[in-house]
Amino acid sequence: MSRRKLDHYKFSAEAPNVIEKGKPLYDTVKGKWNELYFRNNNPIVLELACGKGEYTVGLGKVFPEKNFIGMDIKGDRIARGSLAATESGLNNVAFLRAGIQYSAEFFDENELDEIWLIHPDPQVRDRDEPKRLTNPEFLSSYSKYLKKDGLFCLKTDSTFLYEYSLETIGNSAQYKILEHTDDLYCSPLLSEHHGVRTHYEKIFVSKGYTIKFIKSIVIS
């Protein structure tokens, strides 16, 4: 392991805005994010597979009246988001180091107001569908944590994942698609991404890829 990664892991272990195994809140925060961490009653927004936390931090700056959680299994990536949030003085941003398949251990029913999924791995091979973060099983689990009318938003450069997700979300009895576009930057929905662009999104756009977007709500 590189020295840089080791430094990131050390930073994560010491950072108060990172919740990971071995820290007190890791086992007690479920259902109590606002009570134990944020210490307010503001809406909670979760970014799944947040990577370096660019979107979590970006939205945290745009919406100081909301609480944001970036969730990812990669500690070195989370450390970068943690540092960015700390340097920006964002008390409304936290990071959770855990696998998304274990979300039920950290979020209670109706605890979240929004879930964002930003440029996840599309997992295009058929055998990898269980890992696809908009498969029916994952969607069902997200709907439990979201309040009624809570938002679930997907942003992706992958036509495959966009079309797959339109089908899975559209066929789910738990969701209603409000809006979608296969070219966000040329769409009236552009404001829905609040001007936040990740490093890789900028690369995708520079190479001519269009950005796709789906906005849905939980109805049951």
In the numeric block, the tokens 């942003």 are attached to 155
Beta bridge partners of 44: 67
Phi/psi of residue 17, nearest 5 degrees:
-95, 10
Q: Is 129 annotated as a binding residue?
A: no
- Which fold, 1-108? Rossmann fold (3.40.50)
Phi, psi values for residue 47, rounded to 5°: -105, 120
Average pLDDT of span 4-23? 78
Among residues 27, 108, 113, 121, which one is catalytic?
A: 121
Arithmetic mean of pLDDT, 40-69: 98
Tell me whether residue 201 is annotated as binding: yes
Q: Tokens 């296969």 appear where? A: 182
pLDDT digits (tens, 9 = 90+) for 143-198: 999 999 999 999 999 999 999 999 999 999 999 999 999 999 999 999 988 999 99
CA-CA distances (angstroms) from residue 134 to 20, 113, 153, 193? 24, 18, 11, 19
Active site includes 121? yes
- Enter the DSSP assignment of 184: G
76 marked as binding residue: no
51 vs 73: CA distance, rounded Å:
9
Token pair in block for residue 43:
């809406």
Residue extents of the structural domains in the chain: 1-108
